[in-house]
Amino acid sequence: MCTQSGAGSWTCVLCSGPAAAGICTGCEADLPRAAQPPVAHRIRGIDAVQIPYRYAYPLDVLVRAFKFHRDLAAGHALAMIFTSNVSNHLQSIDRLVPVPLARGRYLARSFNQAALLAHALGAVSGIPLAADGVRRIGGSEQQSRLSRAARRRNLADAFALVERVDGEHVAIVDDVVTTGATAAALARALRHGGAARVTLVALAVTDNRRGGP
């Protein structure tokens, strides 16, 4: 897909009309908004939630195009609407922690969509990222790979912290929230690592807690 039509101008990834930032203002206004507060508000260990959108058409098309087909124009549009919606709600946050992918998924896809969204948010807000501060431990193989960091990490069901976050307000950054189980497990690891407060920041939440990308 070729969507950059000239110096600094883009065509909208949804309607192909002119757009300053990947998606035009009309299409952006029509995107499915999440109810406030979204269902994810009830996730264990999460103090606050910032999720602007529902995972529904046409947002789901863009997410899947980026996530599974590496459509960079879609990724750019998603990063723009994500940062413009949440960057004004991050006042007390000390650190951004993107949800890490399991190693197998990371290799298959070659990038982590949550990490890309977190990088975009960090660039806009100036809040530092802890992209390497937490690792996903899917099984015994991954766990053994992390053994060198054993002294410095805290284990909680699915994640290992390799860097403490004592007293910090940490924002977990994810692309699409479904059951909230991942965020809850990561929040637990962050609490073990000393986090004082945990906010979940995501692009979208599914309606029925199933059927994510």
Report the alpha-carbon distance of residue 137 to residue 78 in Å, rounded.
Answer: 28
**Residue 183, Cβ neighbours under 10 Å: how many?**
24
What is the DSSP annotation of 55-94? Answer: S-TTHHHHHHHHHHH--HHHHHHHHHHHHHHHGGG-TT--
Measured from the CB atom, the residue of 15 and 72 that comes closer to Zn ion is 15
Measured from the CB atom, the residue of 60 and 168 that comes closer to Zn ion is 60
- Smallest distance from Zn ion to CB 28, Å: 8
Closest CA to 90 of 127, 118, 133: 127
Measured from the CB atom, the residue of 21 and 181 that comes closer to Zn ion is 21
**Residue 79, Cβ neighbours under 10 Å: how many?**
23
- Smallest distance from Zn ion to CB 19, Å: 6
Measured from the CB atom, the residue of 62 and 186 that comes closer to Zn ion is 62
- Smallest distance from Zn ion to CB 122, Å: 27
- Smallest distance from Zn ion to CB 132, Å: 36
Residue 26, both tokens: 């009309």
In the complex, the residues that contact Zn ion under the rule CB under 5 A are 12, 14-15, 17, 24, 27
